[in-house]
Amino acid sequence: MGFVGRLAASAAGRDKGSVLCVLDEEGGYVLLADGRKRKVETPKRKKLKHIVLLDDAAVYGGPVTNKAVRAFIRENGFVGTAVTD
């Protein structure tokens, strides 16, 4: 499906509105990290129906470190970790 490396916002759960980077896909699930609350070492596993993909043009392809994920989120205009409607 091509979700890896894209930015997503959590649409459900206690992390609703958080901007995260998709690290991997597992069937109907994705693994997400933001480099702060959710580290790349312990990514959040979330169902696809509980996320909203952001900016189609932005795809991360560099080293997967917490610092790099934070920088990628910041470079795409999401300074904090929350997205509001």
Going from N- to C-terminal start, the domains of the chain cover: 7-75
Q: How far apart are CA 48 and CA 54, in angstroms?
A: 13
Q: How far apart are the first and last CA of the chain?
A: 26
For residue range 52-68, list pLDDT tens digits in order.
998 766 777 778 899 99
CB neighbour class for 85 (10 Å; exposed up to 12, middle 13-18, buried from 19): exposed
Residue 1's pLDDT is 54
**pTM given for the model:** 0.84
Distance CA 57, CA 42 (A): 26
